[in-house]
């Protein structure tokens, strides 16, 4: 097989992967829009696993304990009150739904990286957690504004 043919084959495989990813995202997006408690459940599960992994590593707990704690508080607020209509509306309204799905993906990425790496740099995880926390603050701020 020539180099040109190999490149075409690789591009075709990449296009298939992209199509699958887009289809998956769209299907999950619609599912979460119709089932906001499922969204909060996935968000809670992924973040809980990440926070547990951070807390089980002394060095990471020292570096990331504060930001992980902030994330945990926000997740717990959403998890505790996810049956409230205002929370469900906030979770499924645009752009919050897309933002929360992005948070789930980034937290899952951080968890996977943490679990598979032997050399861990806390700074990269801190940025991911801070971004997730900011997004969740914005969702809760929206809830407060809408409720008043």
For the segment 16-73, what is each residue's pLDDT rounded down to a tens digit? 889 999 999 999 999 999 999 999 999 999 999 999 999 998 888 999 999 999 999 9
96-114 pLDDT per residue, tens? 899 999 999 999 999 999 9
User: Are 27 and 85 within one domain?
Assistant: no
Query: Could you tell me if 26 and 88 lie in one domain?
Result: no
Locate tokens 């926070």: which residue?
51
| Domain count for the chain | 2
Alpha-carbon distance 21 to 16, whole Å? 9
For residue 64, the surrounding DSSP H or E stretch is: helix 58-80
Residues 99 and 124 in one domain: yes
Domain that holds residue 27: 1-34
One domain for residues 14 and 52: no
Residue 30's pLDDT is 95
Looking at the structure, tell me whether residues 18 and 47 fall in a common domain. no
**The dihedral sign for the CA sequence 73, 109, 142, 22:** negative
Torsion of CA 138, 135, 48, 127, to 10 degrees: -140
Residues 119 and 52 in one domain: yes
1 & 73 share domain: no
Count of other CB atoms within 10 angstroms of residue 27? 10
**78: number of CA atoms within 13 Å, CB side?**
34
pLDDT one-digit tens code per residue, 132-143: 999 999 988 888
Are residue 39 and residue 27 in the same domain, yes or no? no
pLDDT in tens, 63-94: 999 999 999 999 999 989 888 888 888 888 87
CA atoms within 13 A on the CB side of 88: 10
């Amino acid at each position: 097989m020539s180099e040109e043919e190999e490149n075409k084959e690789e591009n075709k495989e990449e296009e298939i992967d992209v199509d699958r990813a887009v289809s998956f995202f769209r299907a999950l997006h619609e599912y979460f829009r119709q089932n906001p408690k499922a969204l909060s459940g996935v968000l809670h599960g992924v973040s809980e696993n990440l926070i547990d992994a951070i807390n089980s590593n002394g060095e990471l707990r020292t570096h990331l304990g504060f930001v992980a704690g902030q994330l945990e508080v926000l997740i717990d607020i959403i998890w505790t009150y996810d049956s409230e209509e205002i929370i469900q509306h906030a979770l499924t309204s645009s752009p919050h739904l897309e933002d929360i799905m992005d948070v789930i993906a980034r937290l899952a990425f951080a968890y996977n990286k943490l679990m598979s790496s032997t050399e861990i740099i806390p700074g990269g995880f801190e940025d991911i957690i801070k971004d997730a926390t900011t997004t969740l603050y914005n969702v809760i701020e929206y809830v407060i504004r809408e409720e008043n």
